[in-house]
Amino acid sequence: MKNSFKVSIIIPCYNEESNINQLYKSLSEHINDFSYELLFIDDGSTDKTLDNIKAIASTNKQVKYISLSRNFGHQNALKAGYDSAKGDCVICMDADLQHPPELILEMINLWQKGYKIVTTKRNQDKSLGLFKRITSRVFYKIINFLSEVKIENGTADFRLLDKQVVQELKKINEKFLFYRGLIPWLGFSQIQLEYIAPPRFSGKTKYSFSKMLHFASDGITSFSVKPLKVSIYLGFLIAFVAFLYILYAIYISVFTDNAVAGWTSTIISVLFIGGIQLIMIGIVGNYLGKLFMENKKRPNYIIKDKND
Ligand code: UDP
Ligand code: MG
């Protein structure tokens, strides 16, 4: 007999043609005991991803797909999934088998024990590559220093949410989504599982270095206004140093005979202040740009095709 609840599994896919079949196969081994809905979000793939999904959907009514009109990015694809998931709990995972399907049962057990949110944390693993491990660690250090919500190093977009939590999440329509930060912010009873991430089953990572940088800067500026305050502290610091320097300059010109027109000190202070000002204008501009984009109230994604 099948359990009485329904599990939605959301899988954002961007050019994952070589992973879909294997993912479906390994998922099937773990989810056949309950009624489920497999919701593939095709994030504007240009390869055979959508064809592969459609082929699976034609053999299994529980497989659904949503195809976006272009590449809207991982987080927006996730939103598309959350917005149309119908299950009593909703799990999201990557298409490249880096999120082990065997964890799903454990997540569901914890959910049945009453946890509304089950998050996962990737254990630092050699197979990830030194570069990814270091950049990820630096990013989490910075974001935790700057923002009010705590996000643990290695938190993955592999989690289970109760229907109630998804209802709340759906109300959040911000343009620059960063679910890893939003989830701890939501509250409810949360618990975390740890896992070892195997290397990608097939294909290349869809997070290029520049995409990762954008993602990191969105994560920071969406959760903290502290960078804006930095200018105030820096302003005070520089004013204080300048004050000391003025005392020194007065001393030199009043009590000694070495008051030479100081080209060096002039050029250094001009460059220094100029540099700081540019940095601060950049930070302010970053937030202003976000306000501008947010204000347009454009949708996070556009659906081209779906089967439900
Ligand atoms: N992805 C997506 N849209 C994008 C980039 C990525 O839907 O613009 C999907 C991708 O297909 C995968 C998941 O998001 O299922 C995570 O991406 P990836 O494995 O490339 O990231 P990494 O594990 O290298 O951080
Ligand atoms: Mg991956």
Q: What is the pLDDT of residue 88?
A: 95
Residue nearest to atom 12 of ligand 1 (CA): 94
Q: DSSP of 18-86, one letter per residue?
A: TTHHHHHHHHHHHHTTSEEEEEEEE-S-SSSHHHHHHHHHTT-TTEEEEEESS---HHHHHHHHHHH--
Side by side, the strands of the sheet bearing 35-42 are 190-196, 117-123, 159-162, 89-92, 6-13, 35-42, 63-68, 303-306
Residue nearest to atom 16 of ligand 1 (CA): 94
Q: What is the pLDDT of residue 126?
A: 66
37 Cβ below 6 A of ligand 1: no
Confidence of residue 248 (pLDDT cuts 50, 70, 90): confident
Ligand nearest to the CA of 205: 1
Confidence of residue 255 (pLDDT cuts 50, 70, 90): confident
List the beta bridge partners of residue 119.
192
Which residue did the predictor score with more confidence, 220 or 37? Answer: 37
17 Cβ below 6 A of ligand 1: no
Segment 254-282 shows an average pLDDT of: 74
96 Cβ below 6 A of ligand 1: yes
Confidence of residue 259 (pLDDT cuts 50, 70, 90): low
Cβ neighbours for 186, distance < 8 A, ≥ 6 positions apart = 117, 165, 168, 169
Average pLDDT, the chain: 86
Confidence of residue 301 (pLDDT cuts 50, 70, 90): very high
98 Cβ below 6 A of ligand 1: yes
Which residue did the predictor score with more confidence, 51 or 279? Answer: 51
- Give the integer Cα–Cα distance in Å for 17 and 46: 10
12 Cβ below 6 A of ligand 1: yes
Segment 29-43 shows an average pLDDT of: 92
Q: What is the pLDDT of residue 234?
A: 78
Residue nearest to atom 3 of ligand 1 (CA): 74
Confidence of residue 125 (pLDDT cuts 50, 70, 90): low
Ligand 1, residues 16, 40, 47, 74: which to mutate, most atoms within 8 A of Cβ? Answer: 74
- Give the integer Cα–Cα distance in Å for 278 and 32: 57
Q: What is the pLDDT of residue 232?
A: 73
Q: Quick check: 52 pLDDT over 90? A: yes
What's the gap in Å between 235 CA and the centre of ligand 2?
42
- Give the integer Cα–Cα distance in Å for 141 and 133: 12
Ligand 1, residues 27, 41, 66, 96: which to mutate, most atoms within 8 A of Cβ? Answer: 96
**How long, in residues, is the chain?**
308
218 Cβ below 6 A of ligand 1: no
Confidence of residue 123 (pLDDT cuts 50, 70, 90): confident
Which residue did the predictor score with more confidence, 120 or 230? Answer: 120
Give the number of the atom of ligand 1 that is nearest the alpha carbon of residue 206: 20
Ligand nearest to the CA of 154: 1
What's the gap in Å between 211 CA and the centre of ligand 1?
11
13 Cβ below 6 A of ligand 1: yes
List the beta bridge partners of residue 306.
66
Cβ neighbours for 38, distance < 8 A, ≥ 6 positions apart = 9, 11, 24, 27, 31, 60, 62, 63, 64
Which residue did the predictor score with more confidence, 229 or 291? Answer: 291
Contact 6, 87 (CB under 8 A): yes
Contact 5, 34 (CB under 8 A): yes
Q: Is the dihedral of CA 111, 148, 168, 27 positive or negative?
A: negative
Q: Quick check: 243 pLDDT over 90? A: no
What's the gap in Å between 205 CA and the centre of ligand 2?
6
Q: Which percentage of the chain shows pLDDT scores above 90?
A: 43
Contact 162, 191 (CB under 8 A): no
Ligand 1, residues 14, 15, 139: which to mutate, most atoms within 8 A of Cβ? Answer: 14
Segment 173-190 shows an average pLDDT of: 88
Confidence of residue 260 (pLDDT cuts 50, 70, 90): low
Q: What residue ranges define each of the domains in the chain, with the CATH number in brackets?
A: 3-224+298-306 (3.90.550.10)
Q: Which helix (H) or strand (E) holds 142?
A: helix 130-146
Residues 129-162: tens digit of each pLDDT? 788 778 888 888 888 888 777 777 778 899 999 9
